[in-house]
Amino acid sequence: MKQSVRSFAIGLFTAGILLLGGIFFFGTGGEKVEDLAAEDLIDLVEQKGYYVLNKEEYIAASVGDESKTASAETNSKEENSEQESSNKEEGASKDQEDETTEKAKEENSDENDSEKAEKKEEKEKTSYTLKIKEGMASSDISSVLENNDIIDDAGEFNEYLIDNDYHLKVQIGEYELTTGMSHYEVAEAITK
């Protein structure tokens, strides 16, 4: 018995020395990830067919707001270019341009005020029973709440949940939520 245990130990020792010698002389064969710059890592990952997203892009993609924000940006750019081209065509002086932009701002603020007042009236009346099922992601919950006018921005609420670690504490069940609740109140309600 003593002889077989001793032979086994010598075999393990010899195998270990051979492995260390192989690693020492031949190396690991690959570059270390720690030695590469972030840009190089991104290039390598994209060459493999993967996509690299920053935090904001990930949240927008998970909520589905990317298309909404892109269309809003496009619309605002088109409006700005239309205003600029009309001002150039008219050959208006600086004073006239200032007056038109001030009028446009006043009209927009009046429209925004009336829209906000309408939204406030609607929000006062809205309540919703949220049913959280097993496997629902915080982004899914955020989009459901936005679709039912409980919160204004799903991306912002999802980011709030993640930043304050509520996304890990969400509980399965039914929750009665109303408009006008703060992010904190909604988060506390769904994590009880």
134 and 178 within one domain: yes
181 and 153 within one domain: yes
pLDDT at 123 (0 to 100): 47
H-helix or E-strand containing 130?
Answer: strand 127-132
Tell me the mean pLDDT in the region 57-63.
80
Buried/exposed 51-66: b ≥16 CB within 10 Å, e otherwise? eeeeeeeebbebbebe
pLDDT at 5 (0 to 100): 95
Q: CA-CA distance, 99 to 2, in Å (whole number)?
A: 101
Tell me the mean pLDDT in the region 120-130.
69
Give domain status of residue 181, yes or no: yes
104 and 144 within one domain: no
pTM: 0.38
> Which domain-ending residue is among 108, 124, 140?
124
Torsion of CA 34, 56, 131, 116, to 10 degrees: 160
107 and 145 within one domain: no
Give domain status of residue 29, yes or no: no
- pLDDT confidence of 159, banded at 50, 70, 90? very high
Give domain status of residue 101, yes or no: yes
Give domain status of residue 46, yes or no: no
Question: Who wins on pLDDT, 33 or 161?
Answer: 161
Residue 106 has pLDDT above 80, yes or no: no
- pLDDT confidence of 92, banded at 50, 70, 90? very low
Q: At what angle do helices 138-147 and 154-163 cross, to 10 degrees?
A: 140
Q: What is the CATH number of the domain that holds 186?
A: 3.30.1490.480
- pLDDT confidence of 163, banded at 50, 70, 90? very high
pLDDT at 37 (0 to 100): 78
Question: Who wins on pLDDT, 22 or 109?
Answer: 22
Asked if residues 175 and 150 have their Cβ atoms less than 8 Å apart, the reply is no
Q: CA-CA distance, 13 to 46, in Å (whole number)?
A: 43
Residue 31 has pLDDT above 80, yes or no: no
Its domain, for residue 90, covers 65-124
Asked if residues 138 and 144 have their Cβ atoms less than 8 Å apart, the reply is no
179 and 132 within one domain: yes
CA angle 168, 56, 38 (to 5 degrees): 100
137 and 115 within one domain: no
86 and 109 within one domain: yes
pLDDT at 39 (0 to 100): 80
Tell me the mean pLDDT in the region 162-173.
89
Helix (H, G, I), strand (E, B) or coil at 178: strand
- % of the chain with per-residue pLDDT over 70: 64
Give domain status of residue 47, yes or no: no
115 and 72 within one domain: yes
Give domain status of residue 147, yes or no: yes
End-to-end CA gap in the chain: 62
Torsion of CA 33, 39, 40, 46, to 10 degrees: 100
Give just the sign of the alpha carbon dihedral 169, 170, 175, 176.
positive
> Which domain-ending residue is among 97, 124, 151?
124
- Max mean pLDDT among 16-20, 73-77, 115-119, 167-171 falls in 16-20
Q: CA-CA distance, 139 to 20, in Å (whole number)?
A: 48
130 and 114 within one domain: no
Residue 167 has pLDDT above 70, yes or no: yes
> Which domain-ending residue is among 124, 154, 175?
124
